[in-house]
Amino acid sequence: MGLSDDVLRGIYSHRFDNPSAIQQRAMVPIVRGQDVIAQVQSGMGKISTFALASCQIVDTSRKDVQVLILSPTRDLASQTERVVLAIGSYRNVLAHACVGGKSMGEDIRKLEHGVNVVSGTPGRVLDMIKRRTLCTRAIKLLVLDEADEMLSRGFKDQIYDVYRFLPPELQVVLVSATFPTEILEMTGRFMTDPIRIVVKRDELMLEERDAVMAGFQSGATRLMITTDVWARGIDVEQVCLVVNYDLPNSRELYVHRAGRVGRFGRKGVVVNFVKDNEIRIRRDIEQYYGTNIR
């Protein structure tokens, strides 16, 4: 990936050395300066992905803002700040979270002292820009994290207002779990020939799957939440309970799910959550297999 030694030291010292699927796919194009659209859900390493890229591309000899990361909540923005500071500790990367609920005076002092990466919520960031406390002329990377969530919270106008203050030669990385029409409009407005990367939970790297399964088989992990991808692939004798959060659409898939318990003559229990619109499916399963789902 061409990461600097100091960034690598930050990665290893803070145990970020096992790259996730999104990190393996998105890191190189981001570091190369390409616009990236990443469809990925929370908890899959997205923050560390653009935090790593940010720490790599900033010039720490300068004390101006070069990366701006917008998040829908102050908790997420603060978490992003912590990850950037952790990974960038050996490069002396300066980061600050501009979020509501914190002292505006603290934001002003930090920005005047100089930071390389600003993580914040759209409202507070826009306020700092309009006050001319947050200088945007050196910003070269804009990250929109959980863009769909930001739009659902009513931040659309503020995001567009922030964008108008940014330099024309700007790299944009947009991260979103879903892509409603408003997100597509935003990518068309903000981005140039972007690379699109899609990572779903079903697409865990083989090594990650093996590690998850090994933990479950050994008993180190006692609860597994999964999709139908593993409905046929889990062969663990000690499984005693399966909970169907929803009913599958096919009888065969229900049997595969339920078949994870009671293996090798052991007893097991299957608990089903059945919504009103799934009663027909439940009756179909009961009639076909001559059983009773209570």
Domain ranges of the chain: 5-202, 204-289
Give the pLDDT of residue 210.
Answer: 72
Q: Where are the alpha helices (DSSP H) in the chain?
A: 5-13, 21-31, 46-57, 74-87, 104-113, 122-130, 147-152, 156-164, 181-190, 206-218, 251-258, 279-289
Query: Which amino acid appears at position 245 of this protein?
Result: Y
Which residues, including other chains, have CB under 8 Å from residue 294's CB and lie 6 or more apart? none
The CATH architecture assigned to 204-289 reads: 3-Layer(aba) Sandwich (3.40)
Please state, in angstroms and rounded to a whole number, the distance separating the CA atoms of residues 250 and 284.
Answer: 9
Class of the domain covering 5-202: alpha beta
Cβ distance 136 to 165 under 8 Å?
yes
Measured CA to CA in angstroms, residue 226 lies from 171, 223, 243 at distances of: 35, 10, 11
Widest pairwise Cα distance in the chain: 73
pTM assigned to the model: 0.70
Q: Print pLDDT tens along the chain (294 aa).
A: 578 888 888 888 877 667 777 888 888 999 999 999 998 877 778 898 999 999 999 999 999 999 999 999 999 999 999 999 999 999 999 999 999 888 899 999 999 999 999 999 999 999 999 999 999 999 999 999 999 999 989 999 999 999 999 999 999 999 988 888 898 899 999 999 999 887 765 555 566 667 777 777 777 677 777 777 666 656 677 788 999 888 887 777 888 888 878 766 678 899 999 888 888 888 888 888 888 877
Query: Is the fold of 5-202 the same as that of 204-289?
Result: yes
